[in-house]
Structure formats: structure tokens, C-alpha cells
Amino acid sequence: MKKNILSNKEKTTLFPFTINAELERWLPQEERISFPRSFSYLRKKLQIKQSRKTHIDSILKKCKARFFKAISDCLKQCVKVPLKKFPQSFITNISIEYNKYILDLTVSDLYQLFNLSNDSLDKCVKSCFYEGKENYFKYIYYSKISDLYISYLQSKRYKREIECIKYNLGIKMFLLYEFISENFINYYNFSQPHFCKNIGLKKLEISKEEEKEINSQS
């Protein structure tokens, strides 16, 4: 019994990712060495042809896009003032260094970073909120991205999204997407950057492309 407990600890250290009951039979222990290896093995085991759409980067972008759209939709349902969208260049940026930093920020931090927080939002008073939505708005707006993602995975919205994937793309793509989406935070927290370079994440600056995109929404 003691031997099994130690073995589980070792496996957790080597592979700190979530494997749900549906994936247990598809992903043997010996393939859980790293996230990329596990993903590659799982894709082959499920007999999913390698393509741009089934590449790990493509699925990460879809997970990130759906998550931040959920955030935007929730905020829009709370206030009567128009809200700007997150820049597409931000959504499609899936680099490990960048997103590991982003996960520790709040939605409010992101709005300030991308200059999305207009005067109407900054000076929001009770009259700007739909009835009973003020506290819900503030909860989302001031929560960390990582905490919101955990809540998102438990939401009815997420359940509907993956059920749609299962219905439209089949059980195999559903399992592959579910593996990525359930480990989205773990992927960025535990994966090593593709290159070791100090890119000044503590002082992220808005790019010209993002600035142009944001200004076009005004």
C-alpha cells in the first residue's frame, strides 16, 4: 500500500496534469511523461490525422478564445454601457511565457493593459448595471484569470460547448479537446518555455497591432 502511494506521488511530480476517467483507458502511464508526448500519443491512439486543426496550438487557441468570449459575454450581460473586445492578437497568443503571466492577472488588469476600460466603465455607478448584476460584474472583473477558468470548466456553458464538439466532430475530437481544455492552466503552469529568454513580462506593453485593433472598436 505504501509503495502505491509513493508511486502516485512520483507520477504527480512527473506529470502534473488531469486525466479524467474517460481518458484513463486511452493514455497509459508510460506515455504520461510530458504534456506534448501525451497529446501526441493520444491523438495517434484515437486515430486522428495530424492537421492544422488537430495541432496542439490550434486547440489551445480555441480553448482560450471560448474562455475569453465567455468572460466578455458575462460582463456584457451585467452593464448597460458598451464594452470593447479583447484584441484578437491577444487571443491567438498562446506562448507559454506570456500566458503563464496572464493567468495571475485579473480581468481588470487586462482591461487596463489593453486600454479597454473606457470612462463609462471606470465610473460605473448603480444606474449602469442591470438589476441585480452589480456584484456579479465585480466578481468577474476583479477575479484572477486562473480562478475564472476553473469556474468556467464547471459551468453549464462549458458543458454545452464540449457537448457540441462531441455532436459535431465526434467522440475522438471531443476527448482530445477535453484533454487540452481541462489542462489549460496546468499546461502553462508546468510546461517549460520553448526558449529561455527574458521578455519583460512584468511590464507587458501593448503592441502596435493590438493598439490599432482596439482603436478600430471605438
Predicted confidence (pLDDT) per residue in 129-165, tens digit: 899 999 999 999 999 999 999 999 999 999 999 999 9
pLDDT category of residue 208 using cuts at 50, 70 and 90: low
Of residues 168 and 32, more confidence is placed in 168
Report the alpha-carbon distance of residue 96 to residue 173 in Å, rounded.
23
Query: DSSP assignment of 47-70, as one string?
Result: TPPP-STTSHHHHHHHHHHHHHHH
pLDDT of residue 115: 86
Show contacts of 25-34: CB within 8 Å, 24+ apart: 26/175
Burial class of residue 203, CB neighbours in 10 A (0-12, 13-18, 19+): exposed
Check: CB of residue 114 under 8 Å from CB of residue 90: yes
pLDDT of residue 211: 52
CA distances from 104 to 13, 157, 196, 198 (A): 22, 23, 20, 18
34: closest CA among 196, 195, 186, 197? Answer: 186
Report the alpha-carbon distance of residue 86 to residue 69 in Å, rounded.
9
Count CA atoms within 13 Å of residue 206 on its CB side.
Answer: 19
pLDDT of residue 120: 57
pLDDT of residue 11: 43
Residue range 3-40, pLDDT digits in tens: 333 344 444 445 678 888 888 889 888 888 888 889 99
